Amino acid sequence: MKNRDLVSSIFWLAFGAVFAVGGLQLGLVRQGIPGPGSLPFIVGLALIGLSLILLFQVWRSKPAPGEKIFLEWITFHKFALSLAALVAYALLLKTLGFTLTTFLFLFFVLRFVGREKWVTAFVFSISAALVSYTLFTSLQVNLPAGRLGF
Amino acid sequence: MEAINHLFMSFQIALDPMNLFLCFCGALVGTLVGVLPGLGPAASISLLLPLSFALTPVQAIILLSGIYYGSMYGGSTTSILVNIPGEAASVVTCLDGYQMARKGRAGPALGIAAIGSFIAGTLSVALLMLLSPPLAKFALKFGPPEFVSLSFLGLTLVTYLSSGSMVKALIMACVGLLLGFIGVDVVTGVERYTLKIPVLLDGVGLVPAVMGLFGISEVLLNLEEAYQKREILDGKIEHLMPTRQDMKESAGPIARGSILGFFLGVIPGGGAVLASFISYAMEKKMSRTPETFGKGNIRGVAGPESANNAGAAGAFVPLLTLGIPCNAVIAILMGGLMIHGVEVGPRLLTDRPEIFWGVVGSMYLGNIMLLVINLPLIGIWVKILKVRYALLFPMILFFCLIGAYTTGNTVYDIYVMVVFGVAGFLMKKYGYEPAPLVLALVIGPIMERAFRQSLIISGGSFSIFMTKPLSALFVIAAVFILLSPLIFKKRPNL
């Protein structure tokens, strides 16, 4: 974990610093009582301290043979496609409505991430969309209808 | 006499038809998520949390806690039949459970897991019922300084008991606290760390965060590995009832597992997972034939399976009496109760007795339901296990999307969830555990309020945490735990 710990400890160091500085700006003390920045400042400092300890441990340890600093991607496209599908769902939900977006999302993920057959993906996604729509409306969950009206 | 009155009250609440139905739903969903690897109780409770907004707080906690202890039953099925733990608390059950199944003894393995779970579950609810009222009464004396020190002690214990690097666990706790500060400060009304993003004004949502960390990231991790073909033992499962000899051998492990599990459950950071590991280690050490462990010894199934159920029930003690969550799942339950407007803490038992006694009553009944759901209906769960992951993961993603959206009816929560999903993925790759983060995220805002109240009482002096004797005790214990890795060099490796 040596190289990876190096990356993450530096990340947390920065993370802690951002919050500690932010805490200073928010104000540590207001009219004699602890202000909104007090505890964030303290915890931010603690995080900086812990990252330094981790950094010290990295410096003392030996790297594992063949370890790379960043991740080795085995199947990056699956990761990227799933994330894209999730974000697309959020983007399209209000415009296309719940049922259509759900169908498109499931179909895309099943076909292109899960590598199901076209027919399987189609049948599965359309039935899942309809069943979930019926279920959620009967439970009175508020779902967006979209511009098309369903 | 009082105990009997309370028991009567518990059943009165739990036997209400709606509550009974919700308890059954919880047990059923719990078994399902327990059986399915890759969907744990943490993610599924947050999935159902938005749905529970339409319910009363009592109904909601009966449903959600049913999922938690139900998943403890379901997890063993997958461990025994597929050699993959259905959820984390069933990891050790794989060792002997799967070996038993390979020797054609899948039936008794499943049977003893369910019976042990039932005995442990029932016994620990009884302990929960007896121990909580006096503990809550004692905790009523706690003021803000005591609460701050106790939460601090709780968080250090969680990081101490987490597997892997303690420094990393502490980092996670700090990050969780810091994320909890995001949003409008309740005391002064100042915006903190919101970057002017509207969705962050109310703080980082617990539901999207948990679903990202436990739901989305799990799917992303699983997608990385080529789908392993799961080998499910074929053929009919026969003789679910263990033999008399099996029962005789298992009696000790079940009894020890129940007691051990309950008390480990009460400790922050303990809970079901740790309980099952320690029970297994203990049974192996106590056995006259330790070499048979890992080769299908029924004690290796009976002990841990009892311990994880007892641990699940034990974890409710600090939640319902102190307002301290012991593990990630309990933290989500606590978050859920707070969204329902329930103040979780020592006053819960006196102010909202129906919540505590409702949970107790439903746990007694839920354990009976689970026995029925898991033993005679085992065939259904085996069929569900055969569902391809390629069909399963799109549904998990979809449920997470709906869960995140319906918490606040805004798509921005979906973005928050995706960010936490990627973060959870990276955390796993870089060797960080999400549990301390979630705990800190839930407890952070409460802790901060108490912290500032304490300093107002003391006029800004930090000595208040050391001059109050109980508070000082908690702080000293926490500091001792923090420094112990330096003193003893090595921490028990779990």
Of B170, B394, B429, the CB nearest to A50: B170
Confidence of residue B67 (pLDDT cuts 50, 70, 90): very high
Is residue B61 over pLDDT 90? Answer: yes
Comparing C-alpha atoms, which of B9, B6, B31, B4 is closest to residue B19?
B9
Contacts of A6 (CB under 8 A, 6+ apart): A55, A58, A69
Contact assignment for B175 to A46 by CB distance below 8 Å: no
pTM (predicted TM-score): 0.88
Contact assignment for B460 to A136 by CB distance below 8 Å: no
Question: Span B296-312, mean pLDDT?
Answer: 92
Percent of chain B whose pLDDT exceeds 90: 37
- Looking at residue B493, what is its pLDDT? 47
By the CB < 8 Å criterion, does A146 face chain B? no
Mutate to test the interface with A, among B53, B156, B167 (most CBs of A within 10 A): B167
Question: Span B385-413, mean pLDDT?
Answer: 86
By the CB < 8 Å criterion, does A112 face chain B? no
Question: Span A82-95, mean pLDDT?
Answer: 93
Of A16, A34, A141, the CB nearest to B460: A34
CA distance, residue B316 to nearest chain A CA (Å): 28
Mutate to test the interface with B, among A30, A89, A120, A123 (most CBs of B within 10 A): A89
Would you give the DSSP letter of residue A62?
P
By the CB < 8 Å criterion, does A130 face chain B? no
- Looking at residue B40, what is its pLDDT? 79
Percent of chain B whose pLDDT exceeds 70: 96
- Looking at residue A66, what is its pLDDT? 62
Question: Span B309-326, mean pLDDT?
Answer: 91
Pairing verdict, β A29-30 and B191-192: unpaired
Contact assignment for B220 to A110 by CB distance below 8 Å: no
Per CB-CB distance under 8 Å, the chain B contacts of A19 are 178, 181, 193
Contact assignment for B430 to A1 by CB distance below 8 Å: yes
Is residue A118 over pLDDT 50? Answer: yes
Per CB-CB distance under 8 Å, the chain B contacts of A8 are 430-432
Contact assignment for B394 to A110 by CB distance below 8 Å: yes
Q: Which two tokens stand for residue B438?
A: 């979630």
Question: Span B282-306, mean pLDDT?
Answer: 89
**A16-73 pLDDT per residue, tens:** 999 999 999 888 887 777 888 889 999 999 999 999 999 998 888 876 666 665 566 6
Per CB-CB distance under 8 Å, the chain B contacts of A1 are 430-431
Confidence of residue A150 (pLDDT cuts 50, 70, 90): low
Q: Which two tokens stand for residue B228?
A: 């392993």
- Looking at residue B489, what is its pLDDT? 56
Confidence of residue A103 (pLDDT cuts 50, 70, 90): very high
Residue A38 burial class via C-beta count within 10 angstroms: exposed 0-12, middle 13-18, buried 19 and up? buried
User: Is B213 within 8 Å of B438 (Cβ atoms)?
Assistant: yes
Question: Rounded CA gap, B206 and A145, in Å?
Answer: 26
Q: Search chain A and give the residue with CA nearest B462.
A: A34
- Looking at residue A68, what is its pLDDT? 63
Contact assignment for B430 to A5 by CB distance below 8 Å: yes
Question: Rounded CA gap, B213 and B109, in Å?
Answer: 32
Dihedral sign for Cα atoms in the order B238, B241, B242, B244: negative
**B116-142 pLDDT per residue, tens:** 999 999 999 999 999 999 999 899 888
Contact assignment for A82 to B219 by CB distance below 8 Å: yes
- Looking at residue B461, what is its pLDDT? 84
Which stretch of A4-18, B142-156, B382-396, B427-441 has the lowest confidence by average pLDDT?
B382-396
- Looking at residue B230, what is its pLDDT? 60
- Looking at residue B27, what is its pLDDT? 94
Dihedral sign for Cα atoms in the order B320, B28, B440, A25: negative
- Looking at residue B494, what is its pLDDT? 44
Comparing C-alpha atoms, which of B206, B202, B308 is closest to residue B253?
B308
- Looking at residue A1, what is its pLDDT? 65
Is residue B205 over pLDDT 70? Answer: yes
- Looking at residue A67, what is its pLDDT? 62
Of B51, B192, B425, the CB nearest to A36: B192
Contacts of A1 (CB under 8 A, 6+ apart): A64, A67, B430, B431
Please give the helix or strand (H or E) that residue B192 lies within, else none: strand B191-192
Average model confidence (pLDDT) across chain B: 87
Contacts of B487 (CB under 8 A, 6+ apart): none
Question: Span B230-244, mean pLDDT?
Answer: 70
Other beta carbons within 10 Å of B186: 13
